[in-house]
A and B are shown apart, each in its own frame.
Chain A
Amino acid sequence: MDTLELILKRLESDPRFMDSVTHWEKIPAQKGQYQPFPDDINPAIRNALRKKGITELYTHQAESYKAVMEGENIVVVTPTASGKSLCYNLPVIQQLIKKPASRALYLFPTKALSQDQQSELNSLVNEGELPLKVSTYDGDTPSSVRISARETGRIVISNPDMLHSGILPNHPKWIKFLGNLDFVVIDEIHTYTGIFGSHMTNLVRRLKRVSEFYGSSPQIICCSATIRNPKDLAERITESAVRLVDNNGAPSGSKNVILYNPPLVDAVQGIRRGVVLESKNVAVQFIKEKIKTIIFARSRVRAELIASYLRKALRNFFNEDNRTRVESYRGGYLPGERRGIERDLREGKIHGVVSTNALELGIDIGSLDAAVLAGIPSSISSVWQQVGRAGRRNTLSAAVIIASASPTDQYLVKNPDYFFSRSPESGLINPDNMYILMDHLKCAVFELPFAEGEEFGGPISDYMAILEEDGVVRYSGGKWFWADRSYPAEQISLRSSTPENIVIINTTAGRNEVIGEMDLPSAKELLFKNAVYIHRGEQFLSRELDLENKCCYVEASEFNYYTDSIVKTDIKLLQKDRQESRGGASILLGDVLVRSQVAKYKKLKFSTHENIGYGEIFLPEEEMHTRSAVILLKTGTPSGDAFQAVPEQLRERVLSKAGTLIKNAAPVFLLCSAHDIGIAERLKDLYEGYPALYLYDNAPGGTGLAEGFIHTADEIITAAFEMVKNCSCRRGCPSCIGAEDISGDENIKEEVIRFFTKWLGKDES
């Protein structure tokens, strides 16, 4: 019996540990399913693979090869470490050797993944002495190498940002490449959701348009982690028919996946032991026995904290021989430091590594034996990517997933089915988001004039008319031409508009030190003047939030209350697209105008959450045009009748709590974070006069979340209900409806449960 097996046995018989375990899944080992190399494969490739120890293909690799050879676009969905890159490398290299002019473009969402792929391809090409040049072309590529990359690179590895601002706007330099572009590989396609994904479709439109101009029409090969709708997402991004390949034939060792909910400290308020200390405790069990372990933390600070706690804990056991090594790994380290840690991991010199999700994607660190997830990542596909970091082809591995107090974590840890049966989450995008579309149309017309009647995902003459009014395009001779001195791609970023951060400055006793930073929207809600702000356990009072200079001055304080801002949201339905009966309510979809203002705050007493006063906040109003789903609690529908049964004086609060729950449940099903969704409630909506919940896309123009909500409304509403029903607190806590004033008479939590029970027609018992 090996060490890991012994540790697992020990944990399983430890009642204190098992009390916190909500589920223990033992996934048996899988045998590999193989197929021989196809006959037509070039002997040089076969030889190169053989040198690397590959003598036959997994079933999904064989199917991918066949499908690509038949000219199909494909999306390959298989777990981490299943030989995914051979699914595209094999057919691409085969074709590139056969046709010496042919070229391929590989797109990865991060530079680290590009580097990884470059070294993998290099080793294949070198082993087989294949006549192919593989070039990386990204922001780090020196200009001397850039020319040779475009002139002679047969496979060019890049990222969407570089394609957007470097390659496409300069396409005449790339004529040799684009004119012979036969393959585009888009890996990690599940990361292209929301704003980034909506940009991605438009980027693919531009790439296809320019390629077509030079006479090529590339085949597209996508890869995705396991999500609910890989084929759909791939088809939305490529706007082409795509064949799904998901017959994973890779072998895997047996795996133990343990869901762990830290024990309650205060049952009334639903407070649990912190995820940092619990993760440390669990990880120590593995590391002290020299089991190679990776710990994933949700933030950089937490990664450092856990690492230092681990080192402290291990000092007792192993300082003398000094052989146990724990490192932290996160963004913000120098590239050299990172490469060093990666290398030592691969070579097995590090026993424990505490990382942010920086190590989640692709980077080759070899295989580890155990993974500890300190908090559940924002999506289930990330959970599996992180869990997949532990486990080799044929040995036992373990992963412990530790829930934080967040509502989503608490929901998931109690609903293991979401991990072990079909993935619940859909990747959603909205390529026709008017703002995103407009941005890309500017880039596209800069790249090539638009002819009258030409489409870009749809008709474009309205957009061109606007650009013409703005004087940046010119209509002449049946075409629209770019007619402005600017370079449009330069001003457009594909990543979700990174809000500028507010720097938090501690001015206590004449000091002037930066203690942290916060994104702008959160700062408005947490750092307004007179807010009580808790930073790493210390209490501060905000003296001034200076939006112009992007900083906030705080001072140490000792109040017996904390503050909670009240965001006043005014929402107006501009246009209704459709209305459907779903989830026991009438749900409509349309365009909305959201005006929001942080106008007031509550002072809440620590421990009881008693409301002891209000204050004013003076911050400017914000306006956004976006897409929204509107849940109308119409009389005569189960939702409407359930709501009528709520005592009148509690209706407003119950509706607001229901909204919070739905907002927190949605990210389980829609590949996004709770921050991407906005919620607003109306006791009497202007549209049809019923109570209504608006669930809107928190990005101008929308990113497909409102549409996605309609499709999964039943599941999301049920999950919202379960979230509150199964929460162990008595009267509301941050893990369900939010902390509540526990001094009052009414129990809002019970009212909310009653409301949902009735709405969903569940049994009252």
Chain B
Amino acid sequence: MSPDGKLADRLRRLREAGMNGQPGRRESRQTSSENELSGWKRISGHVYSREKMYPSPFTADGEETFSAPFFSGSSGSIGNLVFYDLETTGLSTGAGVVAFLAGLGKLRNGKLVVKQFFLSDFPGEELFLSSIIEELEDESILVSYNGRTFDRHLLVSRSLMNRLVFPSLPEIDLLYLSRRLWKEHIPSCTLSSVEENILGVFRAHDVPGRDIPDLYFSFQKTARTDLLAGIFKHHLMDIVSLASLFQHIRFLWENPSRCRGGERYSLGRLMLHYGRVEGESLLMQVWEDGKSFSRKAGILLALYYKRLGRVDLSYPIWRRIWDSTEEPRCGIELAKYYEHGKKEYKKALEITQSMLNNPGNMQEKLLHRMNRLKRRINRTTGI
């Protein structure tokens, strides 16, 4: 509770004004004068739309297909993709946050066609949402950047509150894939960072995303449409980037050999995650290179082989890493391998004891293992 001493005065002033029968209160409320937005078509009331065309990042037209990891393991048709993004009045997903700008990008006749819908004032929300929903078809596949936890959620909630049903469609969230591919290699995985560091696209005079809600509120209060131009452009660029990014990731997926350096490690990891065997050879290349990410690739591979029941393939990797770095994870795996697999208790003990020399948070487990090993050695040597 903020003890705002002025609240009482303000309430009294309003009440006195009300009692004096001043009629002007209703008029004094600022409603946005519905200046025509140039280049936009007014659908009705407070809802506007427009279409923009861009060159398609895809080589062929809608018939082309793509495959996992993009969604549910099977392949989809490029023509069903809907690249979408929202601009909203806040960053939470609470009931008071509204989407006021929506863009849907689709491939039509070799072009990327982006349709934007704009909500100039809140009472138009139902129409705004139903216009978006109408653009979607049963076969549509949504593509977003952080849509799974934010944009999609907001569309579903706002629809519910307006007694509409937002269709349940599959969605590919490129944020998740970008993180898996690049989080070790670039400063952050925001869309703009991925654009700059991966796609090599630099936006000039872009409106920072965090300023957008306040610009919109200012527009509502002043009806100055010029405040919106930057938002509209930023939003279009986001959707164009989504399509390029989709194509870029798809290209890497289908042409792993074109990956460079650490990216090769990340793609290998991503492929193994989605059960693609090509991941193994990618990781093997990184491991054998002996350059950066080599050790990480080795550990991933060794675990992969272990899951397949091929500890014989894991063992040389663990051994090599352990000998050069005494990496604890490998030490433990080696100790397990010697103890349970090979029954070579002395070797296992040797590794465990050398790990105990380095203080760490596994002391208790290591001690436990050491004691057990000692018992086993005693038993086998018959003492």
Chain A residues with CB under 8 Å of chain B are 168-173, 175, 195, 434-436, 438-439, 445-449, 462-463, 465-466, 468-469, 471, 474-477, 479, 481-489, 492-493, 497, 574, 591, 623-625, 700-701
A476–B92 Cα distance when bound, in Å, is: 23
A475 to chain B, nearest CB (A): 5
Which of B93, B96, B161 lies in contact with A445, CB distance below 8 A?
B96
**Centre residue among B1, B8, B18, B93 by max chain A CB count within 10 A:** B1
Is B95 a contact of A481 with CB atoms below 8 Å? no
Cβ contact within 8 Å between A439 and B1:
yes
Question: Is the Cβ of B29 less than 8 Å from the Cβ of A434?
Answer: no
Q: Which residues of B contact A479 (CB under 8 A)?
A: 122-123
In the complex, which residue of chain B has the Cβ closest to the Cβ of A472?
B217
Given contacts A446-B94, A487-B92, contact A700 B1 (CB under 8 A): yes
13 contacts between A and B (CB under 8 A): A168-B95, A169-B94, A172-B158, A195-B1, A435-B3, A446-B95, A462-B18, A474-B220, A476-B123, A477-B123, A493-B1, A625-B8, A700-B1
Q: Which of B3, B96, B158, B213 contacts A169 (CB 8 A)?
A: B96
| Interchain CB contact under 8 A, A486 and B160 | no
| Complex alpha-carbon distance, A601 and B237, angstroms | 67
Whether B289 sits at the interface, judged by CB under 8 Å, is no
How far does the alpha carbon of A625 sit from the alpha carbon of B4 in the complex, in Å? 9
Please determine whether B14 and A483 come into contact, CB atoms closer than 8 angstroms. no
**Pairwise interchain contact B7-A438, C-beta atoms closer than 8 A:** yes
Bound form: Cα–Cα A171–B158 in Å = 11
In the bound assembly, the distance between CA atoms of A700 and B14 in angstroms comes to: 20
With A485-B91, A485-B213 known, 18 other A-B pairs at CB within 8 A are A169-B95, A169-B96, A172-B95, A172-B156, A173-B157, A435-B7, A439-B1, A446-B94, A465-B25, A469-B10, A474-B121, A476-B31, A476-B121, A483-B122, A484-B89, A485-B217, A487-B94, A489-B94
B214 in the interface (beta carbon within 8 A): yes
A471 CB contacts on chain B under 8 angstroms:
217, 221
Q: Is the CB of B14 within 8 A of A462?
A: yes
Q: Does B324 contact A (CB under 8 A)?
A: no
**Cross-chain contact B1 with A172 (CB below 8 angstroms):** no
Closest 8 interchain pairs by CB? Answer: A446-B96, A477-B123, A172-B157, A700-B3, A482-B96, A485-B213, A481-B122, A169-B94
Least Cβ–Cβ distance between A205 and chain B, in angstroms: 16
Give Cα A645–Cα B96 distance, bound, in whole angstroms. Answer: 63
Q: Are A436 and B1 within 8 A (Cβ)? A: yes
Chain B residues with CB under 8 Å of A497's CB are 1
Closest B residue by C-beta to A463:
B11
Within 8 A of A (CB), among B1-48: 1-5, 7-8, 10-11, 14-15, 18, 25, 29, 31-32
CB distance from A110 to the nearest CB of B (A): 21
A474 to B100, CA, bound (A): 14
B341 adjacent to chain A (CB < 8 Å): no
Does B96 lie within 8 Å of A447, measured CB to CB?
yes
Report whether B160 and A175 are in contact in the complex, using a CB–CB cutoff of 8 Å.
Answer: yes
CA distance A462 to B8 in the complex (A): 11
Task: Report the separation of the CA atoms of residues A469 and B17 in the bound assembly, to the nearest whole angstrom.
Answer: 15
| Contact partners of A591 in chain B: CB under 8 A | 8
In the complex, whether B167 has a CB less than 8 A from a CB of chain A is no
**CA–CA, A448 and B95, complex, Å:** 7
Inter-chain contacts of B2 with A (CB < 8 A):
435
Q: Which chain B residue has the least Cβ–Cβ distance from A623?
A: B5
**Taking the complex as formed, is B275 at the interface, i.e. its CB lies under 8 A from any CB of chain A?**
no
CB-based contact B15/A462 at 8 Å: yes
Determine the distance from Cα of A530 to Cα of B8 in the docked complex, in whole angstroms. 37
Say how far A443's CB is from chain B's closest CB, in angstroms. 9
Which of A469, A475, A476 has most chain B Cβ within 10 Å?
Answer: A476
B321-364 CB mask vs A (1 if < 8 Å, else 0) is 00000000000000000000000000000000000000000000
Given A434-B8, A462-B14: A449 touches B122 (CB 8 Å cut-off): yes
Query: Which listed residue (B14, B93, B220) contacts A465, Cβ 8 A?
Result: B14
Range of interface residues on chain B?
35 or more
Shortest CB distance B16–A (Å): 11
- With A448-B95, A462-B15 as known contacts, state yes or no: A172 contacts B220, CB within 8 Å: no
- Please measure, in the bound complex, the distance between the C-alpha atom of A172 and the C-alpha atom of B14, giving whole angstroms: 34
B90 CB–A CB distance under 8 Å: yes
A173 to B161, CA, bound (A): 11
In the bound complex, do residue A492 and residue B29 qualify as a contact, i.e. CB atoms below 8 Å apart? no
Docked Cα-Cα span, A493 to B122, in Å, equals: 29
Which residues from B are CB-within-8-Å of A489?
A: 94
- In the assembled complex, which residues on chain A have CB atoms less than 8 Å from the CB atom of B5? 623-625
Contact of A485 among B4, B89, B221 (CB under 8 A): B89
**Nearest CB on B from A86, distance (A):** 35
- Count: A-B pairs, CB below 8 Å: 105
Most-contacted residue by chain B among A465, A466, A483 (CB, 10 A) = A483
Task: Please measure, in the bound complex, the distance between the C-alpha atom of A121 and the C-alpha atom of B333, giving whole angstroms.
Answer: 45
A484 touches B10 (CB 8 A): no
**Smallest CB gap from A575: residue in B:** B12
Roughly how many angstroms separate A545 CA and B18 CA in the complex, as a whole number?
47
Which residue, A445, A486, A591, has most C-beta atoms of chain B within 10 A? A486
Residue of chain A at shortest CB distance from B10:
A466
| A625 CB contacts on chain B under 8 angstroms | 3, 5, 7-8
Assess the A435–B29 pair: CB atoms within 8 A.
no
In the assembled complex, the Cα of A436 lies from the Cα of B4 at a distance in Å of 11
Q: Which single residue of chain A is at the shortest CB-CB distance from B160?
A: A172
Asked if A477 contacts B122 (CB within 8 A), the reply is: yes
Q: Decide if A475 touches B1 in the complex (CB within 8 Å).
A: no
- The answer to whether B90 and A486 touch across the interface, beta carbons within 8 angstroms, is yes
Please give the distance in Å from B174's CB to the nearest CB on chain A.
Answer: 23
Give the CA-CA distance A298 to B217 in the complex, in Å: 51
| Residue-wise interface mask of B (150-174) relative to A, using a CB-CB cutoff of 8 A (1 in contact, 0 not) | 0000001110110000000000000
Task: Find the A residue at minimum CB distance from B157.
Answer: A172
Report chain B residues within 8 Å CB of A447: 95-96
Known: A169-B95, A171-B95. A468 touches B29 (CB 8 A): yes
- Give the distance to chain A from B71, nearest Cβ to Cβ, in Å: 21
Q: Which residue of A lies closest to B124 (CB)?
A: A477
Q: Which residue of A lies closest to B3 (CB)?
A: A700
Chain B residue at minimal CB-CB distance from A482: B96
CA A504 to CA B70, docked complex, whole Å: 59
CB distance A484 to B11 under 8 Å? Answer: no
Give A149 to B135 CA distance when docked, in angstroms: 34
Query: Cα distance A57–B91 when bound, in Å?
Result: 52
Q: Which residue of B lies closest to A436 (CB)?
A: B1
Interface residues of B in 159-216 (CB under 8 A from A): 160-161, 213-214
Chain A residues contacting B11 (CB-CB under 8 Å) are 434, 462-463, 466
A470's nearest neighbour on chain B, judged by CB, is B10
Report the Cα distance A169→B96, complex, angstroms. 7
Complex CA distance for A700 and B4, rounded to whole angstroms: 9
What residues of chain A lie closer than 8 Å to B123, measured between beta carbons?
A: 476-477, 479
By beta carbon, the residue of chain B nearest A173 is B157
Tell me the minimal C-beta distance from A623 to chain B in angstroms. 6
In the bound complex, residues from chain A placing their C-beta under 8 Å from that of B3 are 435, 624-625, 700
User: For A445, what are the chain B residues with a Cβ–Cβ distance below 8 Å?
Assistant: 96
Given contacts A171-B95, A434-B7, A438-B7, contact A475 B160 (CB under 8 A): no
Question: Please, which residue of chain A has its CB at the minimum distance from the CB of B94?
Answer: A169
Which chain A positions have C-beta within 8 A of B214?
485
Chain A min CB distance to B5 (Å): 6
Give the residue of B93, B157, B161, B220 whose beta carbon is less than 8 angstroms from that of A483.
Answer: B220
Give chain A nearest CB distance to B210 CB in angstroms.
9
Q: How distant is A574 from chain B, measured CB to nearest CB, in Å?
A: 7
Given that A436-B1, A462-B11, A574-B8 are contacting pairs, would A487 and B122 also be in contact in the complex, using a CB cutoff of 8 Å?
no
Contacts of A487 in B (CB 8 A): 90, 92, 94, 96
Nearest-neighbour CB distance to chain A for B364, whole angstroms, equals 18
Q: Chain A's nearest CB lies how many Å from the CB of B29?
A: 5
Please determine whether B122 and A476 come into contact, CB atoms closer than 8 angstroms. yes
Interface residues in B227-277 by Cβ distance below 8 A to A read: none
Q: Are A170 and B122 in contact (CB under 8 A)?
A: no
- From B2, B5, B18, B94, residue with most partner A Cβ within 10 Å: B94
CB distance from A639 to the nearest CB of B (A): 30
Chain B residues whose CB sits within 8 angstroms of the CB of A469 once the complex forms: 10
